[in-house]
Every structure is written in structure tokens, then in C-alpha cells.
Amino acid sequence: MAECIDLNLKVNGTEYRASVHPFARLLDVLREDLRLTGTKEGCGEGECGACTVLLNGRVVNSCLVPAVQAQGAEVVTVEGLAEGENLSSLQAAFLTHNGAQCGFCTPGMLLSATDLINRCPNPSDDEIRDGLAGNLCRCTGYAKILDAVHSAAEREAAR
Amino acid sequence: MIGASSIRKEGRAKVLGTAIYTDDKFMPGALHGLTVRSEVPRGILRAIHFGEGIPWEEFTCVTAEDIPGTNLVASVVDDQPFLIGIGEEITHSQQAVLLLAHPDKFLVEKARRAVRLEIEELPAVLDIQSSLDLQPLIYGTNNLLKEIRIAKGDPDPIWAQAAHVIEGEYRTGAQEQMYIEPNAMLSVVEPRDGLLQVTVWGSLQCPYYVHGALRQLFGLPEKQVRVVAMEMGGAFGGKEDYPSVNGGHAALLAWKSGKPVRLIYDREEDLACTTKRHPSRTRLRTAFDAEGNLLALEADFILDGGAYATLSPVVLSRGAVHAASVYRCPHVRIHARAVATNTPPPGAFRGFGAPQSLFAMERHMDVCARKLGLDAVELRRKNFLHMGDTMATGQVIREDLDLAGLMDQALAAIGYRDKRAAFALTNPGDGPIKRGVGFSVFMHGCGFTGNGESHVASVAGVEGLADGTVAVLAASTEMGQGKNTVFAQIVAEALQLPVELVDTAPVDTDHVPNSGPTVASRSTMMVGRILEDAAIGFKLALVQQGFLVEPYTPESFQAAVVKAVATLGTLRCYGQYHRPPNIQWDDVTYQGDAYPTYSWACYAAEVAVDLDTFEVKVADFVAVQEVGRVVNPTLAAGQIEGGVAQGIGWGLWEEVTMQRGRMINNQMTNYIIPTSVDLPRIQVVFLENAHAGGPGGAKGIGELPMDGPAPAVVNALENALGALRLDEVPMTPDRLLERCEEVSHG
């Protein structure tokens, strides 16, 4: 086996150190080394968005990020969205509006939607569609996801 | 409870990212499994060569010779081997030949590439016509995996008498389910109390299918095999029959290595080798009188069944029964065949044969309307089935069926008449955008076809738990459709409890009875009905044993269950499917009640075609359906919206491109499913008409929305572009350009 590399990164506010395969992807580190399995792999080629995380505040497909590029980075995954028992506005809205069906695209969808609402606090249908175009969902036809994002944006605006 | 939009039971875990899917399950010391496949469509396997530079002694390798039981996958027909042995015939390009496992997933991939298969190639059959022509013979005596004939009256004398006879040929392509979670299995095989115990955890729709396949593969009794359904990242039929194959592969590796094994497909492998919707070719011949009354219908319906029969006989059966669609017709002849080709076997996909035959019939009705000079709405209205009419199988419609009402509501919601009039004025203009509106009317049979439910004789139950809550015991799996929630609502309604007091037990064959596979729009209606009975029996038992006094409050019910469990220990009550006496079916003649009931619908679509790029945008979509009583309106709407999205995808974009019997666009990058920017908001309307046979009046819903979108969209294309040869889906831009050029070149 090839020699491992030492990786330091901060995930959901916690510092981690891991010894990882030189070809490992950020996705592998999250799922296998840190056992944060909320982030999913759907295609391994950056197409489906199930592995979406925030890397230093930017939305990325973690299957396309070599782990070495995450050295010293701050990462937010789906496990970092709730505060203790309290769901984030988006998580709560996905639950109420049936925005998650099989749930496999949901972690990535939630991260992209979180980023969208941060950039665009009161998005239109079209802005949501554009913001989530990199996250494929096969269950919902996207309607309930649009509803959930609108509802969460309204709740955030009211805070 | 029933009728309320209760929150999805497992939804909180899903939004928190804590729901455990197969690949999320932690299994220390697990090996990574991989499958080596044939790559040629047909030939004789002569040798397997293990290349240099790989520490083969560290690998677990499984070939056909290792198989301890029967090397055939248990299915409708047991004709597919798990692995092809030396000297045996390879029959498709993805045939599994060798299984590998190693602790290092990077090394196991390298090893796969180092294996060379020596195969003596044979001529292959790669399309429907070659199979029909026996060029060459590859399966049985006639290349047929299944043949069905349905007859009503006698169409032969009608053709000469009828005012109009109209023929047409229609084709539909393969379609990939594209669940976002690829197929995944984990297995451990170890001795327990001196006996071999095979356990598989997986992403699978039908735990008892996999259970049966493992028993046959290892030659083990029931109790030595255990199958656990993990959280599932979508399925749509794609995890109905295939899990018997990869579940078996994972277990073989675990058995030979003595270690846990993960067999997780990557997307390219999943797309190349797992099941898809059957490609189809339908030839229709219809006779009408001068007024447009349908007098006779002949359908020649053919599915490409791939290299093995697997589920093709039952897919064909549903497709054949739906071929005459929603129309009253005195003389019908349906000839249905599933033919063998040297391609990976297709399997179940939402709709299960019905979308193929319904696409043909609903396109054909628009073509007939044009040729008869009648309005497509009025032609349908004239010929709809009503209460008392008989369908092609002789089934009598016993419900108050108002298809014209459904149709009128859908057309009004999309503004059909106004839009047609407006587009007739705007489309002749110079602009590149042409608009059209079209629709389809269709049905979907609820539950298994024919005697399927009687054969399975499903059992489901409820269990009182020590904390006073109630668990649902059923092998039906949650794949996103909402089974956990709907079952809890049905049981809560029967027990008059808040839904919070009912939840689902883990779907583990050691713990739950065989409630049949999670397929065929049967879970809510068929299993739900058994659960309703079981729940009522459970309550009666509590009353009769003196634990519960009616009327009761949720608190007193909970207290009664606590006390009963403390006194009696395990507290379970089961129910079983019983065929209603008025449902009769003959498997040989295909006569009788093909389904206990049907869900009915009219879908309408508005499209905009850009004649510069031949891109089609679906601008508006209305889905009106009658599905009995709706158990959970929010979840039900989610089913319709998602199904419509898949149906539009099949109609316009989703194309499986085959080359030498192998899918060559086996990536998400080049197999195109709808994204959030590709679909309109879908208007979903439920017309409720309680069905006495379903729990709380519910009927089946899951597959219905797959049937209608493709013909509605293509009918709208005809409205936008005029009479073209719009006889095939997906109607991709390339295909649409070709069809337009046919007209302009005369």
C-alpha cells in the first residue's frame, strides 16, 4: 500500500487529524476516516451532488476534491447543520414539506440550499432551481424541495 | 390519521444525515468486493488468466466452481447463473465470471484490470427483430422468454366491415432507474451454534426475494439465512430483482473469505450491468365506425427481455393487460412476447410494462383522431370504459368510473382549449419557438397481475412493545415512497391512536413475516389492508384478554399494552391476504379480473419546442388522478410529482445508448435525468373515490404517474409541430430533428 499522508482539517467546528491514502478524496476522508457518513457518494464524478459539502465556505463536490487540497481547511457537512437537537430552518422545512423522500440526495441538497440562502436570502423559484441544479434528485421532481427552501428562507428572514 | 399529511417517520434521521444506508454501516475488517465481467455479448468462457504484479495470494477469489448450492438466481424463471463457469456460455456483456475481495479497495480495482478472460466469441442477437428472426437462436426453441395471448370477441371479420382501419407502430427505449444510491450489499457468513449463518444487509426492495435466492445459492434452510433492508436511497424497481444477484455475490465472497465483505457498485458499473426498463415495440391496428366508435383492436406487443427471463414474464403480463388501455372495445386480440437478446437482462422499473403499451395506445389515439378528422378529446370521450363495460380480459368495471370527468378536469386546469386556439394562431409565425398542448388518459392496475397475490399469500402484523407503543411487522421496505409513515397511519387509524404511537419494526427477515415484495403499487392497498385487519385483531385480543376496555384513550391503550406485554411477553397479531370471492382469474386463458381495481388518470402537458436547437421544454403539466382515498396527501403528491418527472425524462431525454450489447453512456454525465431547472411545477389533483378493498379506501399510487407523461408530452409535440412520425420515446432533439427532416424532405 502506498505511504499515507497526514491530514489536518476542521469539520463542523472540530479539529481532526487523519492519516490518509495519497489518492483519497475528501469524501473518503469524511466517510471512512472521520465516519461522518451523512455525506453520500452517488456518482464519483461530480455530477449528482450527493457529496456536496462546504469547503472554506464554498460549495464543492467532495468526490472531486483530493484530500490533500483540504489540508488545514474548514469543512461543513450535513452533520454540522443542526444545533444539538434543533434542526436548522432548512432541515425543519425539508422535514415538514416532504423535501426528503429516499433521503440520499438530501445531505448534499441541504448544503447547496444553505449556501443559496446565505447568498440570496429571498430566492425566487428560478433562483432556487439554479442554486440546486448541481444536485440531482430522482424522487421528488423537485417541487417539494422548492417549497421547503422557500419556507426556510421565509423563516430565516423573519428571525 | 388516514387523510392527514403526517410527517415522514424516518425524515428526521434523513435531514440530520444520521440515517444508515448500506455503505454507511460500519463493519470493521471488511473486505472490498469487486466483480469481473465478460465484456463480450456472447461466447464460451475458455479460461481466466490472473495477470502478473498482483499479490493474488492475498485475494479471495470466487468462481462458479466454488458455489456450494445451486448456481441459478431464484426468480420468476430460474435461468440466470450467479457466475459463468469455464466451458459455459456467456450470454451478455456484463456477465459475472469472477468475484474478488481484498482489504485494500485501490488494489482490488487494480486486480480487476489484471484479469484477462479468454472467450471464444459467438454471434450475438442485439435487437428485437434479430431475435424474432432467430438470427441466431440463443434461447430455448424460439428465442421467446414468454408469450401471452388475450382474446375478446373476434376482430377478424371487423377489418373489412369497418369504416376506418388505422395501423401504427410505436417504440420505447430502455430507461435507467437512476436511484441516487447505487446498488450496495454487505455480507457476513459465519458459523453459529455449529451451523452456517448467511447474513446480508443491503439496499433492496424485497427482502424475501433475496432470502430465497440465498437459500438456493447455499442450499440452506430458512433459518440459516437472514436479510436486512437498510435505509434505501431510491429504487423504482431497480432494486427489486437485481439484489438477488449482487446479494448472492457478496455472500459468496463473505463465505469463502470468512470475513465481512462490502460489495458497493460505483455508478458506471451500476448503469452498465443492472436492470433497466424493457425496450418495446408495439404494432396496433384499430377499426372504427364512421362516428369514431372503436370496433376492434389488435396489438402486437414485444419487449426486449435480454439474456435471461428473470422478471420479463410478469412485466410482459402487465404490459399486455394494459395494452387496450381505458377504452371499451368489443373485439380485442393482444399478442405479447418477450424476446431474448444478448444484452444485460432488463427488469422492474416503476410501471412494469404498462408505460410501454400505454405509450403506444395513447399516441395511437391521437394519430387516429387526426386520421379520422375528429377531436382527440371527443374520440376518447366516445370510447371510454364505464361501469358495466368489460375490459380485454373480460373484467367487468364494477366501480363508478368517470373518465370523461377526469379528462375534463385536467384539460380545464391546463387551459387546453384556449391554448390550442392561441397556439394555432402563433405557431405559423416565423419565430423558432412552437408551442403545443397534449394529454393522455390511462389506468394502472393495483397490486399483482392475476393470481399473484394469492400465490404470495402475504402475512403482516403488529406487535405491542414494552413501552406501550405499537410496531408494524412487514417485509415491505422504505425506499422514499413513504411506507413507514403510511403503514403507521393505517394502523393508527384502525386502533384509533395518534400516529406517534405507531412505528415500523426494522425490516429483518429474522423479525418480520413475508408481506411480499415492495412492488406493483401494492404496499398501501394490499399490505395496508392486511395490517388494518391485524391491528383490529390485536385490539380485540387486548379487549378479550381483559387488558383493554372500550372506549379507550391513547393513554389507556398504551397502559393496556404495557401491562399485556409485562404479563404475556411477546405480543404479536398477524393478518394474511385472502382473495376476495368476487375476484377470479385464469392464468391460462388470461381471462378474468386482472387486478382487484385500477387507479385512473388524465395527464396534460404543454411544451415549447425550439426549432433552432430542437430542445423541448415542458412549460406546464397537470396530473389529475383517482387513486381511491389518499392516505397522506403530501406524500402522495410527492409520489406523483416524482413519477411525472421520471415519465417526462423517459419521454424526452433519457436514452440508453447500446454498442455491441453494452451501455456506452453509463455515466450520469451522459445519461440525462431531469434537474431542478428542467421541470415545471406540476399541478397535482386527487379525485377521491374510496375503494372498498383498500385500507381506509386507498388504492395503489406509486407506478401510475410513470404511465402518462410520455404520451402526453409527445401528443403535445404533435400539436406544436403538426403531423410528424412521433412514434418513439425518448423524443430527443436528434430524433425530433430527424422526424422534422422527414417531412421537409417529403
Q: What is the pLDDT of residues A48-63, one digit of tens each?
A: 999 999 999 999 999 9
> Does the beta carbon of A54 lie under 8 angstroms from any beta carbon of chain B?
no
- Which string of DSSP letters, residue by residue, matches B510-546? TTS-----S-TT-IIIIIHHHHHHHHHHHHHHHHHTT
Question: Which B-chain residues 242-261 have CB contacts (< 8 A) with chain A?
Answer: none
Percent residues over pLDDT 70 in chain B: 100
Which CATH number is A72's domain given? 3.10.20.30
Q: Do B17 and A87 touch (CB under 8 A)?
A: no
Q: Do B646 and A138 touch (CB under 8 A)?
A: yes
pLDDT band at B378; cut points 50, 70, 90: very high
Q: Do B233 and A78 touch (CB under 8 A)?
A: no
Residues A13 and A73 in one domain: yes
Q: Do B668 and A48 touch (CB under 8 A)?
A: yes
Q: Which domains does chain B have, with CATH numbers?
A: 22-122+178-273 (3.30.365.10), 280-449+590-744 (3.30.365.10), 458-576 (3.30.365.10)
Q: Which amino acid is at B492?
A: A
Give CA–CA dist A23/A70, Å, rounded.
13
Q: What is the pLDDT of residues B615-634, one digit of tens each?
A: 999 999 999 999 999 999 99
pLDDT band at B492; cut points 50, 70, 90: very high
Give the gap in angstroms from C-alpha B650 to the nearest C-alpha of chain A: 13
Residues A25 and A59 in one domain: yes
pLDDT band at A2; cut points 50, 70, 90: low
For an interface test with B, the pick among A102, A105, A124, A142 (most B C-beta atoms closer than 10 Å) comes out as: A102
Q: What is the pLDDT of residues B305-345, one digit of tens each?
A: 999 999 999 999 999 999 999 999 999 999 999 999 999 99
Give the gap in angstroms from C-alpha B580 to the nearest C-alpha of chain A: 33
Q: Considering only CB atoms, which chain A residues are within 8 Å of B104?
A: 1
Q: Considering only CB atoms, which chain B residues are within 8 Å of A107?
A: 17
Give the gap in angstroms from C-alpha B113 to the nearest C-alpha of chain A: 17
Q: Is the pLDDT of residue B180 over 80?
A: yes
Which CATH number is A153's domain given? 1.10.150.120
Give the gap in angstroms from C-alpha B232 to the nearest C-alpha of chain A: 6
pLDDT band at A12; cut points 50, 70, 90: very high
Q: Is the pLDDT of residue A1 over 60?
A: no
Q: Do A42 and B234 touch (CB under 8 A)?
A: no
Give CA–CA dist B112/B98, Å, rounded.
9
Would you state the cell numbers that stand for residue B452, as one nine-digit string?
A: 399473484
Cβ-contact B377, B178 below 8 angstroms: no
Q: Do B24 and A37 touch (CB under 8 A)?
A: yes
Give CA–CA dist B381/B328, Å, rounded.
11
Question: Which B-chain residues 472-491 have CB contacts (< 8 A) with chain A?
Answer: 479-482
> Does the beta carbon of B8 lie under 8 angstroms from any beta carbon of chain A?
yes
Query: Cα dist. B423→A148, B8, B372, B439, B614 in Å?
Result: 35, 42, 22, 16, 18
- Residues with Cβ within 8 Å of residue B596, at least 6 apart in sequence: B446, B447, B453, B525, B580, B583, B693
> Does the beta carbon of A136 lie under 8 angstroms from any beta carbon of chain B?
yes
Q: What is the pLDDT of residues B629-666, one digit of tens each?
A: 999 999 999 999 999 999 999 999 999 999 999 999 99
Q: Considering only CB atoms, which chain A residues are within 8 Å of B667?
A: 43, 45, 47
Q: What is the pLDDT of residues A66-107, one digit of tens each?
A: 999 999 999 999 999 999 999 999 999 999 999 999 999 999
Residues A71 and A11 in one domain: yes
pLDDT at B745: 76
Q: What is the pLDDT of residues B394-453, one digit of tens each?
A: 999 999 999 999 999 999 999 999 999 999 999 999 999 999 999 999 999 999 999 999
Q: Is the pLDDT of residue B373 over 70?
A: yes
Residues A114 and A137 in one domain: yes
For an interface test with B, the pick among A98, A105, A111, A136 (most B C-beta atoms closer than 10 Å) comes out as: A98
Q: Give the DSSP H/E element, type plus range, for residue B418.
A: helix B416-426
pLDDT at B734: 97
> Does the beta carbon of A129 lie under 8 angstroms from any beta carbon of chain B?
yes
Q: Which of A58, A80, A102 is the last residue of a domain?
A: A80
Residue of chain A nearest B679, judged by CA positions? A141
Q: Which amino acid is at B116?
A: R
Q: Is the pLDDT of residue A37 over 60?
A: yes
Residues A98 and A51 in one domain: no
pLDDT at B582: 85
SS3 B76: coil
pLDDT at B94: 98
Give the gap in angstroms from C-alpha B6 to the nearest C-alpha of chain A: 9
Residue of chain A nearest B639, judged by CA positions? A140
The pair phi, psi for residue B624, each rounded to 5°, is: -110, 125
Question: Residue A75's Cα: distance from chain center in Å?
Answer: 10
Beta-sheet strands, E only, within B8-137: 31-37, 43-50, 60-62, 89-90, 96-102, 115-121
Q: How far apart are the first and last CA of chain B?
A: 61
Would you state the cell numbers that stand for residue B584, as one nine-digit string?
A: 377470479
> Does the beta carbon of B685 lie under 8 angstroms from any beta carbon of chain A?
no
Residues A70 and A113 in one domain: no
pLDDT band at B240; cut points 50, 70, 90: very high
Q: Which of A49, A80, A111 is the last residue of a domain?
A: A80
Q: What is the pLDDT of residues B120-151, one digit of tens each?
A: 999 999 999 999 999 999 999 999 999 999 99
Beta-bridge partners for B438: B605
For an interface test with A, the pick among B15, B265, B632 (most A C-beta atoms closer than 10 Å) comes out as: B15
Q: Which of A37, A125, A138 has the CB atom closest to B234's CB atom?
A: A138
Cβ-contact B123, B279 below 8 angstroms: no
Residues A68 and A14 in one domain: yes
Residues A10 and A72 in one domain: yes
Q: State how beta strands B331-339 and B144-152 pair.
A: antiparallel
pLDDT at B581: 85
> Does the beta carbon of A79 lie under 8 angstroms from any beta carbon of chain B?
yes
> Does the beta carbon of B28 lie under 8 angstroms from any beta carbon of chain A?
no
- Residues with Cβ within 8 Å of residue B556, at least 6 apart in sequence: B548, B549
Q: What is the mean pLDDT of residues B556-563?
A: 98
Q: Considering only CB atoms, which chain B residues are within 8 Å of A21?
A: 106
Q: Which of A23, A18, A24 minimizes the C-alpha distance to A6?
A: A18
pLDDT at B628: 95
Q: Is the pLDDT of residue B238 over 70?
A: yes
pLDDT band at B746; cut points 50, 70, 90: low
Give the gap in angstroms from C-alpha A63 to the nearest C-alpha of chain B: 12
Residues A18 and A71 in one domain: yes
The mean of the pLDDT values for chain B is: 97
Question: Which A-chain residues 57-76 have CB contacts (< 8 A) with chain B?
Answer: none
Give CA–CA dist B261/B482, Å, rounded.
30
Give CA–CA dist B584/B573, Å, rounded.
29
Residues A99 and A136 in one domain: yes
Residues A93 and A74 in one domain: no
ipTM over 0.95: yes
Q: Considering only CB atoms, which chain B residues are within 8 Å of A110?
A: 15
The pair phi, psi for residue B254, each rounded to 5°, is: -65, -40
Peptide bond into B733 cis (omega under 30): no
Give the gap in angstroms from C-alpha B634 to the nearest C-alpha of chain A: 7
Most distant CA atoms of chain A, gap in Å = 54
Q: What is the pLDDT of residues B585-597, one digit of tens each?
A: 999 999 999 999 9
Q: Which of A62, A80, A98 is the last residue of a domain?
A: A80
- Which string of DSSP letters, residue by residue, matches A37-105? TTS--S-SSSSS-TTEEEETTEEEEGGGSBGGGGTT-EEE-GGGSSBTTBPPHHHHHHHHTT--SS-SS
Q: Is the pLDDT of residue B367 over 60?
A: yes
Q: Is the pLDDT of residue B352 over 70?
A: yes
Residues A70 and A102 in one domain: no
pLDDT band at B600; cut points 50, 70, 90: very high
Q: Considering only CB atoms, which chain B residues are within 8 Å of A133?
A: 675-677
Query: Cα dist. B236→A139, B351, B477 in Å?
Result: 9, 9, 12
Query: How many contacts (CB atoms, under 8 Å) link A and B?
Result: 179
Total domains, chain A: 2
Q: What is the pLDDT of residues B76-98, one digit of tens each?
A: 899 999 999 999 999 999 999 99
Cβ-contact B313, B77 below 8 angstroms: yes
Let me know how long chain B is. 746
Q: Which of B233, B234, B267 has the CB atom closest to A43's CB atom?
A: B267
Give CA–CA dist A108/A61, Å, rounded.
9
Cβ-contact B607, B616 below 8 angstroms: yes
Cα-Cα-Cα-Cα dihedral sign, residues B628, B631, B634, B638: negative
Q: What is the mean pLDDT of residues B3-26?
A: 98
Cβ-contact B240, B347 below 8 angstroms: yes
Beta-bridge partners for B662: B659
**DSSP-assigned letter for residue A29:** I
Give CA–CA dist B556/B564, Å, rounded.
12
**Domain span including residue A123:** 89-158
pLDDT band at B744; cut points 50, 70, 90: confident
